Structures are given as C-alpha cells and as structure tokens.
Structure 1
C-alpha cells in the first residue's frame, strides 16, 4: 500500500478524528475532501472548513461538535479554550483553590446523582426518547396566553385607554358632519416578556436534567423571547439547538454542545460568568429569570450571594426552583439557599415538571419585584 503524502496526512487524520467521535465519514468522502482542499489551494483555514462542510457533510444537529473538533485539530487546543473562542456560546469557569478538600467524582457519585462536587468532569450524555408528559402538553397548550407580558411602546385601540386616538376620532367625525360623538382611546400594546432559564446540569441534579431540558425546549417553542443556559462547571448557551422543532433532535444537538453534564457544582462562579459577558447579561434585563437548581453550592457562597443580588436587580422577577422544596412550609437548610433566600422573589419547588410548569404559568399573575 502506497504511503500517503506528508501534506495530506493532516486532512486524513481529521476524517479519522470525526469517525472516532461518532461521525459517519465514508472513505469516498475522505477522498472528496482531499480533492476539494487541493482544488481550493487552500489560501486560509476557512477554505479548508468550507471544503469539509461540503464533502464530509456533518449533520446540522452536530455542527457545534464538528466546529469544535475542527478548531481542535487545525488550530490547536488553545484556540478552543481561549477566552475569545468560548465567549460566543460556552464560558469555562475559572478553578480556584487547590481542591484538597473536594469530593472526588467517583463512579458511585455519578450513578447516584445525589452528591455535590466542585471538580470538573467533561462527559457526553445521550437523552432517551420519551413520550410527552401531561405537564408538558399542558404547558404547550397554555403557555402562549399565560406567560408574563409587558406593555410595549406601540399603541392599539381600546374602549378605555389613557391616550386619545385623534386620527380615528377625526375620521369618524366625517360621518357626522364634523361633530365628535365619541372620543377614541388608545392603550399600549402588550408584548411577551423576556424569559431567561438557567438549568443546573451538575451531578446532584442528574435525576432531573433530562426533564428540565425538555421543559426548556417546550419554553423556547412556546415563546419568542426565551434564552436557555446550562451551568455546572461551565456556562453554556443552548438556546440555538433548542430552537429545533423536534424535541429529540433538539436535545441531541444540545447534548453535543454541553460538555459538563453530571459534573461539579459551582453556581456562584457560573452566575458571575453569565453577568461578566455583556451580551449574556443583557438577556436578564427586564426578564422573568428562572433558576432550576438544588443550591448545593461547592464554591464560594459570598460569590453566589453577590451574583444573585446583581441578577435580581436586573430581572423583572427572579425565581429559584429547587427539588429540596418539598412543601409549602419549606425552609432553606443549605448554606447557599439561606444566603440567597432574601434576594430571590420566589423560592419554590422544582422537584417535578408539573411543579415547574405551574410556577411558570403563574408568573403573569405575580407583580414585579
């Protein structure tokens, strides 16, 4: 068998890297990839990237994974983990301290999903195909009419409004020979309020992760201005994959984008990272912010308290839903929940999809903080 030319080995190795990560790349596609690169020159890495898209044909739901592997292979690891690259969708949290007193992420800890740790564990996760539950069907049916709204700047006709509709009044007066019989009124048109959903995907929330992600997908499909982030040891924006209409396809795309499933818990660092990116922090301004987390913080509680205070000042209303709230008489017991209890507007149950759906649909009846 003839040995490959030295210049083509890096491109053949990239096709092998894709196959190792679950991409279906046939030998004919690898040959076509080499031919496309030869045809384009190439003059830049963008030419190689476009040649790969055209010949290796990564599926749309795995485009984010393909891009990360391309950057890792052709630009080096520092290009993927540099601050400029991850600022777009993924922010890695800075590790502080030496970690001698941290609980290691053993196999038993991952299986139970009950213990909180700070260590980072980068793992892949596959979501099972499940039937849509009653709570999600109810949410999809009622969300458009019951999600919170705000007054917009545009005006609409109203029987009783604070503004006079002079245009309509003058037009109607023509029919009565210039006599004004009734003064038209206007009011501000209601618009959907922004919703920001922050989902804890750490190991201690493992049992609820799939249901919470399914709820995030239903929320993105039901409302126009929704942003969804996951956090554990990294902050990841998953709004884009959740916009896919089919839930299985959307969750599959999100599973390849998020890399810290079932890992450590550093809530304060995640919220600080969210607020440090201006584009991300803008999503919270005037929004109904919903945090789904058990509050088992393994980082600095003072950092968590400061981040929640800043987030509360930006939000229209801040709700913290935790599986630990098992009843109406719930009193926070963990250090983190005690620290933020006075800063959040709602500290309620998040132990089931039905509880979360009921709370989200009731936000419109609650007053602004």
Structure 2
C-alpha cells in the first residue's frame, strides 16, 4: 500500500494560503477547510503543469458558475510575476475616470482584492492638504443606488446585496372568489345566518354578513441567465430570493438555452445554500439565449399551473436572442393573454438613446404591458413601487 504524499511546505504552502485569502476578499466564500483541501490537492497534481494545477484548484475552490471568471483572473494575476499584480491594482484606482477602456467586472474585483494587501502609501508632510470641491458630491449610499450592477466591485456588490434584502414587495391586492365572515360585509351570508338560527330554535334574530377576500396575485419571474445577462442575473437572484422568502405564491424560472424551475431551491432561507442548489439545477449559466423557445416551453408546461388568479409576470432579459427571435412574438402574445400584467425588465434601458433594433426586442415590445430598466438599485425600488400600486389602465383598441 502506497503511503500518502506529504503536504507541500515552505513557500508553496504560504503562497497557496495567500491565494485563498485573495479569493475570499474577491467575494468567494472560502474557509480553512477549503485551504486544507487545496493543499492536499497539490500533493496529487503535477506541480510543473500550470493547466493541471489551475483545473484542480478550480474544482475545489469554485462552487458556482459566476465565480469561475473571478478565479481565473485571480489565478492568472497571483501566480505570475508581481508586476502584473501591481498593474491590476493600479486599474482599481481608476474608478473616477470614466472611459471606454474600463476593465471587466471580474478583473476589477480581483484588482481591489490585490489592492487590499498593499499598505497605504505614507503621506509627505511638506505637501499641502488636497483641496476638495464638495459642491456636486453625493453620499456613498446615493452613489451605490445609482451605480450600474455591471460596474460594481466586490465591496459594492456586497453592499448592494444588503440593500436588496431590505426591499419589501407588497403586491397590489386583488379581490378573489372567496368570502370570509365580516360584521360590516356587503353581502348577507345565508348559510351562516341559518346556522346561527339553530341556537334559537330556528328564529332568525340577526343577519350574518361576509366580505370578499383580497389577496396579492401570484408573481411569476422569468429571468435570462445568458452570457450578456450573467452579472445582472447574479445580483437579481438575491432580490428574487428575498421575495420568495417574504411572500407566498412566487414562482421563479431561469432560462438560457433551456428553461429551469428554481422555485423550491430559492425557498431555502440561507442564500448561500439556495444559490448552490440553483447552480446544480441550472446547466446553461452564461451560455446562449433562446428566449422564444424558453417562453414557449413555459406556456406549454407551466402556464396553467402558475398563471391563475391574475398573475403578474416579470420577464428579465435584454432581448438578444441567438435564434433571431424565432417564435418569440407568438410565445410572448400567448404569455400576455395568460396573465394580468406582463412587465419586461431590460438592463439595456440604462442607455438614454436605447432603440429596440434587435429582432428579439422588436418581437417582444408589442406584447408587454410595461417596459422598465433593471440595472441598479433605484430601478429595483421603482419596480417595487410600481408593483405595489394598481396597474395602469390600457387603452382599448
């Protein structure tokens, strides 16, 4: 029987622990057990093969699809020459410069994590204090509320998730077919009146009344998780998790190239456990998009189950369909007829000059009741306010 290889020691083990701490600062939830498993994995891998080491550490330290890009960026920067890390850290300091060559979000998160390792530069005593013009500045909270989800770093994403957990979604209550006893009800409850008269020998001394029960309508969410929507879907899942645990009759579906029902997974109170269950249920995260086929599948398999009693449907997508909007108009028209309110949440509406030029956008737009942005926290607050009020009246054709 072959003895187990001893764990790596010296500089390699120290660098591995530093790499795990870097990933933790970049947003990955890792602990001591993960660092120990990664150390043991190095004893089974060929240290001379960079590709093999990267694949082995990724299999241990990455739990969700959206973490792969962060891991790859961190691995490329950490296990290379230190000059690359310094350049990446310098990129994180350019938040105030708004140019078109902004680094990808994953690179910014890793760069901010690398910047946390560096001690602050000492201030020279002979330099005068900087002059700050605070005439047009806003608070950090206001800046966070207006920041695009795609431009957020690791700390800003964590703060945004905390704000999302505070959102409360009281949908506009609608009357149902059921009644409940009420002293000031508008209708007379004949059955209850006759039942009460049995206590007095059949003599009716008073009329029992009832009132119609009012309940919020069911909420159905269809969220696009394709490559162009991956960052927005990652943050919006926290909003959907908070909604699912705050109210009943909420159904959540994710779609890329296929439709996945994640309603039961998001019912878990622990968000990390819920998202890990979602990652196992969804095989096509950050892949292609088949909006028309996914909506048609929903109409056929789930429409009659979840769209009763005047349901409200949130369709979260940018309208970019890989199949060129084949069958999208027919599927969207049927979905509109099956619900009371169809709201299209489009992150591309953050641009003032947005035009529905893609085939998917042109096919969707005529069949939705509302078209709203969903790119920052202010857009989410406006959505909550809109859902809590009666829907706008549509003009009859």
Where on the TM-score scale, by shorter chain, does this alignment land: which range?
A: 0.5 to 0.7
Partner of residue 367 from structure 2, selected from 343, 348, 354 = 343
> How far apart, CA to CA, are the structure 1 residues paired with 2:298 and 2:191?
46
Query: Residues of 2 paired with 1:263 and 1:343: CA distance?
Result: 26
Matches within 5 A, 1:302-321: 302-321=326-345
Match of 1:284 in 2: 307
Query: Is residue 217 from structure 1 mapped to residue 245 from structure 2 by the alignment?
Result: no
What RMSD in Å do the two structures reach over aligned CA positions?
Answer: 3.7
* 1:97-136 equivalences in 2 (<5 Å): 130=158, 133=161, 135-136=163-164
Higher deviation after alignment, 332-341 or 244-253:
332-341
With the length of structure 2 as denominator, give the TM-score of the two structures.
0.53
Greater RCO (CA < 8 Å, at least 6 residues apart): 1
* Equivalent position of 2:379 in the other structure: 355
* Whole-Å separation in 2 of the counterparts to 1:282 and 1:168: 33
| Partner SS, residue 230 of structure 1 | strand
Contact map agreement 2:171 2:389 (CA 8 A) in 1: no
String of CA shifts for 1:197-243, please: whole Å, max 9, x gaps: 11110000122121111111111111211111111112111111111
| Bigger Cα displacement from structure 2, 191-200 vs 304-313 | 191-200
Larger Rg: 2
Is the 2:318–2:346 Cα contact (8 Å) retained in structure 1?
yes
- For the 8 Å contact 1:269–1:299, the answer to whether it is kept is no
Match of 2:284 in 1: 260
Q: Distance in 2 between matches of 1:266 and 1:179?
A: 64
1:148 aligns with 2:176: no
Per-residue CA deviation, residues 55-99 of structure 1 (Å, 9 max, x unaligned), is xxxxxxx9xxxxxxxxxxxxxxxxxxxxxxxxxxxxxxxxxxxxx
Question: For 1:186-205, what aligned pairs fall within 5 Å after superposition?
Answer: 186-205=210-229
Structure 1 residues 223 and 364: alpha-carbon distance in aligned structure 2, compared to 1, 3 A threshold: same
CA distance in 1, matches of 2:204, 2:330: 62
Task: State the TM-score, normalizing by the size of structure 1.
Answer: 0.57
* Alpha carbons of structure 1 residues 241 and 276: separation in structure 2 relative to 1, 3 Å: same
Deviations 1:87-141, CA, capped at 9 Å, x for gaps: xxxxxxxxxxxxxxxxxxxxx99979xxxxxxxxxxxxxx9994564542332xx
Alpha-carbon separation, structure 2, partners of 1:157 and 1:284: 28
Deviates more, 1:304-313 or 1:264-273: 264-273
C-alpha displacement of 1:355: 1.5
Question: How many matched pairs?
Answer: 247
Q: CA deviation at 1:150?
A: 3.1
Gaps of 5+ in 1: 3-21, 26-61, 63-107, 113-126
1:148 Cα deviation after fit: 3.3
SS in 2 for 1:228: strand
**Structure 2 CA distance for aligned equivalents of residues 160 and 366 of structure 1:** 25
- Measure the CA separation in 2 of the matches of 1:316 and 1:346: 12
